[in-house]
Structure 1
Amino acid sequence: MYGQWEEVDFDLSTDEGELGLREPQNRGTYIMYHGTTRQQARSIQAGGFRQSPDGMLGRGVYLSRDLAKARRYPIDHPENDKAVIKVRVNVGKVIAINYQGHPRQKTWHDYGYDTAWVPPRCGMVRSGLEEDCVWDPRRIQILKVILPEEGPDNGLVEAGIGAFLLGLLDRMS
């Protein structure tokens, strides 16, 4: 059985925003996470992020500053095939989309925004956790891949050399 995910970060520089209830600041830099499958994590590492064609906030790359949210994805997928990609994002100009039916919910980029932010507990996301949608994947820098680890400490594996580690895990499976 795979254990609980956890990450402890002591290496955040002062220009990187911390997870919180506040809206990401325009032109700020933040650590965020993207939950996916291991195969998709390899693909993203090799070719970078690509916009999702549609979603709650329209086109863009869906991320969260909350590791707890990212580790849930893909929903209903086996835990041992999940991966979370840790990234650094320059959010550019940010708009808060804080209710369903917001007039710019899917068109925010047309109004000059680079990132749409859904605040936690605003009723738009079932989990109640915050979500971000970044229009331009070039604003996203991949830092590492985080995998659940089977073992007595129920920790996780962090891979700055994620492609190498993912390849080893595939060969061991």
Structure 2
Amino acid sequence: MGHPFYSWRRRYIMYHGTTLTAAYHIKNHGFQRSSGGMLGPGVYVSRSFQKARVYPKILPFNERRAVLKLRVRVGKVKKIDRQGHPLQKTWHENGYDTAWVPPNCGMVPSGFEEDCVWDPSRIEVLSIIPL
């Protein structure tokens, strides 16, 4: 039933790094699911502020980074701990709400954990932290 690290009904504080302009847009209009990524479509978040604070990797001219502090209802979580995992991009079709890459498993170069949440309505923006 998922990973013991996550309780299935719980909400977790997580972070999403973006530009300050995008952060205000997300706060006002909500997240949009990405079209792809390491774990396929979804909203990419992390429990690590340190991971979130370096995104976007390339900062547009005249923009500042910001981190959104979030409350996330993770639902049913699938651990994806290696490249080529059979459910790496199809976890949602197999009944999971969130995919979780554990820290230091070799999938994320920084070694920080990462999550991909399928349904943006599971994510509540608590605050914007300008950097």
Shorter-chain TM-score: which interval?
over 0.9
TM-superposed CA distance for 1:33, in Å, is 0.2
In 2, the alpha carbon distance for the partners of 1:130 and 1:26 equals 18
Q: Which residue of 1 aligns with 2:102?
A: 119
Instruction: State the AA in 1 paired with 2:119.
Output: D
Q: 1:83-107 deviations in whole A, cap 9, x for unaligned?
A: 0000001100000000000000000
Give the secondary structure class of the aligned counterpart of 1:23: coil
TM-superposed CA distance for 1:43, in Å, is 1.1
In the alignment, is residue 25 of structure 1 matched against residue 19 of structure 2?
no
Normalized per residue, the structure richer in helix is: 1
Residue segments in structure 2 that go unaligned for 5+ positions in a row: none
Give the secondary structure class of the aligned counterpart of 2:67: strand
Q: Which residue of 1 aligns with 2:48?
A: 66
In the alignment, is residue 43 of structure 1 matched against residue 25 of structure 2?
yes
Q: How many residues align?
A: 127
Q: Which residue of 1 aligns with 2:130?
A: 147
Give the secondary structure class of the aligned counterpart of 1:45: helix
Q: Which residue of 1 aligns with 2:117?
A: 134
In the alignment, is residue 96 of structure 1 matched against residue 79 of structure 2?
yes
Give the secondary structure class of the aligned counterpart of 1:88: strand
Q: Superposition RMSD on alpha carbons, in Å?
A: 1.5
**Greater relative CO, 1 or 2 (CA 8 Å, sep 6+):** 2
TM-superposed CA distance for 1:26, in Å, is 1.8
In 1, the alpha carbon distance for the partners of 2:94 and 2:26 equals 28
Instruction: State the AA in 1 paired with 2:88.
Output: Q
